[in-house]
């Protein structure tokens, strides 16, 4: 992969590397800065592994005040900073730069407070997504957003990308489940927004901060909503003879007034790979599979699943299987959640993340097949069907430069299609570097300029997570920095 | 106020804002004006109303999404949704009657600009959580958009959601796109009688911590309960604590019984049931704050951590008489206090500062609203960011200047 250009590093900063490292070590003491090459190499990429950059240095702060010290130093010395959680970004959101310091919050992973009566947990942002649910599971509670990478990804990364997951059809995405944050600005100032209460006072700064891709500040702590889990949950499998029938069935279910907690879609290539990995009992003779999960008491679940099977009837499902119990349910979800990993074992792939209006699903799936076929590439589709968030995985051979380029071109064409039918470039992975140069498809220059002004509100000198989100050639509003600093 | 301009399109609106910007004319940004009595009084030269930008360009019931032009009335939106058995799940409240206006006037743009959510907020999220996209014009007279019509969308910063609760001070919304949900098939309400504020809060917190998806929790003092329109409830002479369950009919019955059983174990016994009809009437009454009618007394809205609610009210009551309506399991308090020159702001804000959260003065004479901070004062770092944000959208400060804060 090679289509995405990164700016030339500031050689002045690179030349000062030893001094910068010494300064930071002096400010922070031992054990925070990683300067040796092997140590830094572990941070040279994220989950968009085709792109790598060796960072200037890596910092692993242990507290909010250490983060503040690092950011203030970097700002005073005009050094760029790339914030990092676990480095699971699929869009290059955590890709380092040669003239930037990576600040990873991974050592800040404590649960600070759990308050069941008020349904909240206060945590450090380096905690993994799954560990939050883990910390409250014993009382029957959970933290709702559940990205597939939840075992590894941090809350910090979830906040940066406004991550979703399979169950956000019912429970919403990250922005809907955060009550408060503590964030360090590039100046070293610490800002607290929200808290234990619902809805922030004044402007909704939290709405802007969540999803700002690490470009506004580094969030070190957050108060998140925890919810009481339903009495039970059970998925059912619906197999269809065409993707189109499956797509129309999804619309029919949602239109009927039933909102399942999740509706996941897999096409034939995905089903086969996932089944051989997870042995979940997926039917192998169907073209498309839906995993539909509902929640409630046993009686409620049975009734809802019966209703859903009835709604599916006119679309002639070849398979209607209700999970036999917790074991099979776990396998069904394991298959889905490890889908990306399982496919990664058989081929390199390029994972797309566009969203489309649900009604356009059948035609978009056809178009995706033909886009990939026209470039001689195969594609596997796995996605959150309930909300139209597609994840076509374009399969290619990373060692074949021609195929790499073809995959990137096909991906761009698919995303353009998503925008054209009324959807968007990214549903939950973020823009990062990957979709940066496509932003003009979705936004006018005015839209982008306004977003860039908002960036200047939080980081007037544009040192945080550089060369991400906005196309490199988009002119930054010339007065934005001066205005922000004067205000 | 010299004149009211009613642009029919975003383009026309942008032209008007450009003219005002050139001449440095401050603009009163409004929809139907149903919330005009809320916020700091402004001195503006022009009123721009969205009322001529009406209509519903997109409604896809099977995708649970609707777009409406900002000046469309909420009642039209809700009627359209009801015709397909759908609703705005965040149950927007109507502040009209409580602030001296009529009910049912507000526009859909105003609902999002003020981020007004009702009792179901604890289960379904706030207005801001349902907003998917907006179109608008900022104080630079630029037409812009953010978000779109799909639920999952992280493309660029979340400017749309960032505009909720900004009361027209950053931009004028011209179109909003939002998520809608099916009406629950059935509903029931359990009302517990005679609980103190503390016990009621404990009850509400316990209820929302069960798996039975309680979708509304309110507590009314005996005094407020006496103001209800519902004949049976207003004559009981005790405080009322209401819990709402919504779902398919068999589930409602099952969940109501399970919840009562669960709460009995926790010691909460004395209760009456409302059937679907009475339940809907009861929660509709609350949506209009009917128990806090416009009058001499002042009205505050306090948002705090639910468990802290009764403590804040008790702290305030040491200084003044106060009637409290608790919503959101105790986390949202509508506080009615006597009219005084400072509206009790010092004592109320001190109580809130001790326990966390924020307090907004919703109803007071304009002289009082000019003298005290209507919106909660900000910490210095937040204030600086807010001021910069205002500048990014509206560098000359012509949109609703001073409505939220004296400084900008």
Give me the interface pTM, i.e. the ipTM: 0.97
Same domain assignment for residues A434 and A325: no
Residues of B in contact with A118 (CB under 8 A): 205, 305-307, 331
Q: What is the pLDDT of residues B97-130, one digit of tens each?
A: 999 999 999 999 999 999 999 999 999 999 999 9
Structure tokens of B60? 């896809």
Q: Do A199 and B128 touch (CB under 8 A)?
A: yes
User: Is B61 in a helix, a strand, or coil?
Assistant: helix
CATH number for the domain including A250?
Answer: 3.30.70.2190
CA of A66, closest CA in chain B: separation in Å?
19
Half-sphere exposure of B302 (CA within 13 A, CB side): 36
Count other Cβ atoms within 10 Å, centred on residue A138: 8
CATH number for the domain including B329?
Answer: 3.30.70
Chain A to chain B Cβ contacts (< 8 Å): 267
Q: Do A296 and B145 touch (CB under 8 A)?
A: no
Same domain assignment for residues B246 and B313: no
Please state, rounded to an integer, the average pLDDT across all residues of chain A: 94
At B3, the pLDDT band (50, 70, 90 cuts) reads confident
Q: In chain A, which among 190-209 make CB contacts under 8 A with chain B? A: 190-193, 195-205, 207-208
pLDDT at A76: 98
pLDDT at B2: 61
* Residue A376 belongs to a domain: yes
* Closest residue in chain A to residue B376, using alpha carbons only: A201
The model's pTM is: 0.96
Same domain assignment for residues B166 and B222: no
* Closest residue in chain A to residue B207, using alpha carbons only: A117
Range A61-74 average pLDDT: 98
At B1, the pLDDT band (50, 70, 90 cuts) reads very low
Q: Do A422 and B149 touch (CB under 8 A)?
A: yes
Q: Do A116 and B209 touch (CB under 8 A)?
A: yes
Q: What is the dihedral of CA B74, B80, B86, B91, to 10 degrees?
A: 10
Q: Do B158 and A175 touch (CB under 8 A)?
A: yes
Residues of B in contact with A161 (CB under 8 A): 154
* Residue A257 belongs to a domain: yes
Please state, rounded to an integer, the average pLDDT across all residues of chain B: 96
CA of B352, closest CA in chain A: separation in Å?
11
Same domain assignment for residues A219 and A254: no
Q: Do B152 and A197 touch (CB under 8 A)?
A: no
Same domain assignment for residues A322 and A398: no
CA distance B385 to B391: 10
Same domain assignment for residues B113 and B191: no
Which of B154, B349, B379 should we substitute to test contact with A (largest number of A Cβ atoms within 10 Å)?
Answer: B154
Inform me whether the pLDDT recorded for A392 exceeds 80.
Answer: yes
Terminal-to-terminal C-alpha distance of chain A: 42
The number of folded domains in chain B is: 3
At A1, the pLDDT band (50, 70, 90 cuts) reads low
Same domain assignment for residues B72 and B127: yes
Q: Which among A210, A254, A357 has the least Cβ separation from residue B158? A: A210
* Residue B153 belongs to a domain: yes
The number of folded domains in chain A is: 5
Q: Which among A140, A255, A443 has the least Cβ separation from residue B61? A: A255
DSSP per-residue codes, B266-334: TT---EEEE-HHHHHHHHHHHHTTTTS-SSSSEEEEEE--GGGHHHHHHHHHTTS--EEEEEGGGTEEE
Burial of A162 per CB tally in 10 Å (0-12, 13-18, 19+): buried
Q: In chain A, which among 17-76 make CB contacts under 8 A with chain B? A: none
Domain enclosing residue B223, as ranges: 186-287
Same domain assignment for residues A278 and A365: no
Inform me whether the pLDDT recorded for A302 exceeds 60.
Answer: yes
Same domain assignment for residues A254 and A325: yes
Which residues, including other chains, have CB under 8 Å from residue A473's CB and lie 6 or more apart?
none
User: Is A6 in a helix, a strand, or coil?
Assistant: coil
Q: What is the pLDDT of residues B214-255, one digit of tens each?
A: 999 999 999 999 999 988 898 999 999 999 999 999 999 999
CATH number for the domain including B245?
Answer: 3.30.70.2190
Same domain assignment for residues B173 and B321: no
CATH number for the domain including B404?
Answer: 3.30.465.10
Q: Do B356 and A195 touch (CB under 8 A)?
A: yes
DSSP per-residue codes, B216-239: EEEEE-HHHHTT-S-HHHHTS-S-
Residue B217 to residues A184, A287, B305: CA-CA distances in angstroms? 36, 46, 14
* Residue A466 belongs to a domain: no
A443: phi then psi, degrees, rounded to nearest 5: -120, 150
Same domain assignment for residues A397 and A430: yes
* Closest residue in chain B to residue A358, using alpha carbons only: B63
Q: What is the pLDDT of residues A18-55, one digit of tens each?
A: 999 999 999 999 999 999 999 999 999 999 988 999 99
* Residue A404 belongs to a domain: yes
pLDDT at A479: 81
Q: What is the pLDDT of residues B339-371, one digit of tens each?
A: 999 999 999 999 999 999 999 999 999 999 999
């Amino acid at each position: 992969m090679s289509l995405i250009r990164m700016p030339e590093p500031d050689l002045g900063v690179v030349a000062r590397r030893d001094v910068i490292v010494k300064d930071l070590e002096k400010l922070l003491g031992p054990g925070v800065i990683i300067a040796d090459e092997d140590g830094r190499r572990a941070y040279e990429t994220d989950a968009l592994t085709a792109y790598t950059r060796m960072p200037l240095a890596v910092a692993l702060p242990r507290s909010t005040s250490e983060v503040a010290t690092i950011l203030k130093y970097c700002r005073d010395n005009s050094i760029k900073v790339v914030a990092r959680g676990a480095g699971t970004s699929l869009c290059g959101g955590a890709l380092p730069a040669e003239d930037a310091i990576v600040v990873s919050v991974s050592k800040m992973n404590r649960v600070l407070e759990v308050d069941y009566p008020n349904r909240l947990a206060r945590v450090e942002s380096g905690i993994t997504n799954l560990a939050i649910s883990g910390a409250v599971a014993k009382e029957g509670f959970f933290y709702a957003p559940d990205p597939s990478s939840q075992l590894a990804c941090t809350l910090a990364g979830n906040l940066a990308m406004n991550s979703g997951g399979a169950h956000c059809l019912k429970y919403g995405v990250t922005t809907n489940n955060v009550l408060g944050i503590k964030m360090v600005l590039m100046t070293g100032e610490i800002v607290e927004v929200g808290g234990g209460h619902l809805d922030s006072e004044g402007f909704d700064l939290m709405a802007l901060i969540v999803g700002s891709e690490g470009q506004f500040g580094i969030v070190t702590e957050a108060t998140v909503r925890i919810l009481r889990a339903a009495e039970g949950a059970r998925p059912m499998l619906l197999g269809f003879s065409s993707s189109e029938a499956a797509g129309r069935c999804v619309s029919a279910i949602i239109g009927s007034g039933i909102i399942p907690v999740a509706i996941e879609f897999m096409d034939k290539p995905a089903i086969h790979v996932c089944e051989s990995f997870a042995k979940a009992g997926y039917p192998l003779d169907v073209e498309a599979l839906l995993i539909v999960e509902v929640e409630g008491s046993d009686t409620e679940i049975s009734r809802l699943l019966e209703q859903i099977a009835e709604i599916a009837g006119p679309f002639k499902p070849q398979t209607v299987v209700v999970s036999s119990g917790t074991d099979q349910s776990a396998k069904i979800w394991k298959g889905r959640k490890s889908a990306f990993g399982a496919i990664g074992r058989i081929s390199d792939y390029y994972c797309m993340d566009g969203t489309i209006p649900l009604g356009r699903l059948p035609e978009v799936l056809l178009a995706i097949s033909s886009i990939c076929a026209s470039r001689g590439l195969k594609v596997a589709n796995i996605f959150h069907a309930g909300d139209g968030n597609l994840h076509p995985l374009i399969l290619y051979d990373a060692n074949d430069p021609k195929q790499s380029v073809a995959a990137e071109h096909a991906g761009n064409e698919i995303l353009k299609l998503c925008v054209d039918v009324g959807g968007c470039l990214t549903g939950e992975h973020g823009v990062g570097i990957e979709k940066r140069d496509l932003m003009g498809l979705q936004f006018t220059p005015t839209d982008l300029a306004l977003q860039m002004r908002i960036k200047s509100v939080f980081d007037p000198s544009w040192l945080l997570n550089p060369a991400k989100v906005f196309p490199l050639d988009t002119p930054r509003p010339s007065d934005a920095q001066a205005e922000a600093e004067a205000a | 106020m010299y004149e009211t301009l009613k642009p029919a399109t975003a383009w026309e609106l942008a032209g008007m804002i450009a003219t005002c910007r050139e001449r440095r004319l401050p603009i009163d940004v409004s929809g139907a004006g149903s919330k005009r009595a809320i916020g700091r009084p402004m001195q503006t030269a022009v009123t721009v109303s969205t009322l001529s930008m009406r209509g519903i360009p997109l409604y896809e019931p099977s995708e649970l999404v609707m777009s409406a032009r900002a000046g469309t009335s909420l009642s039209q939106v809700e009627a359209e949704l009801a015709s397909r058995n759908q609703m705005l799940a965040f149950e927007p409240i109507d502040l009209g009657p409580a602030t001296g206006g009529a009910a049912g006037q507000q526009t859909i743009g105003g609902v999002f600009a003020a981020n007004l959510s009702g009792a179901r907020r604890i289960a379904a999220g706030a207005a801001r959580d349902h907003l998917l996209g907006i179109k608008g014009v900022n104080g630079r007279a630029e037409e812009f958009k953010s978000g779109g019509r799909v639920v999952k969308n992280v493309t660029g910063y979340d400017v749309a959601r960032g505009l909720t609760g900004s009361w027209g001070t950053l931009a004028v919304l011209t179109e909003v796109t939002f998520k809608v949900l099916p009406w629950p098939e059935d509903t029931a309400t359990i009302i517990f009688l005679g609980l103190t504020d503390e016990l009621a809060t404990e009850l509400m917190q316990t209820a929302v911590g069960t798996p039975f998806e309680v979708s509304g929790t309110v507590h009314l003092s005996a005094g407020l309960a006496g103001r209800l329109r519902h004949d049976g409830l207003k004559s009981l002479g005790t405080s009322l604590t209401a819990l709402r369950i919504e779902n398919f009919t068999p589930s409602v019955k099952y969940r109501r019984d399970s919840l009562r059983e669960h709460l009995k174990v926790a010691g909460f016994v004395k209760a009456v049931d409302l059937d679907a009809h009475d339940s809907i009437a009861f929660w509709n009454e609350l949506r209009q704050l009917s128990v806090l009618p416009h009058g001499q007394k002042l009205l505050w809205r306090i948002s705090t951590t639910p468990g802290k609610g009764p403590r804040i009210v008790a702290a305030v009551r040491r200084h003044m008489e106060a009637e409290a309506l608790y919503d959101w399991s105790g986390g949202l308090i509508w506080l009615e206090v006597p009219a005084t020159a400072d509206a009790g702001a010092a004592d109320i804000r001190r109580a809130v500062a001790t326990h966390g959260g924020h307090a907004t003065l919703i109803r007071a004479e304009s002289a009082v609203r000019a003298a005290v901070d209507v919106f909660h004062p900000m910490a210095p770092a937040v204030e600086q960011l807010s001021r910069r944000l205002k500048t990014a959208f509206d560098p000359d400060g012509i949109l609703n200047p001073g409505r939220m804060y004296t400084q900008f």
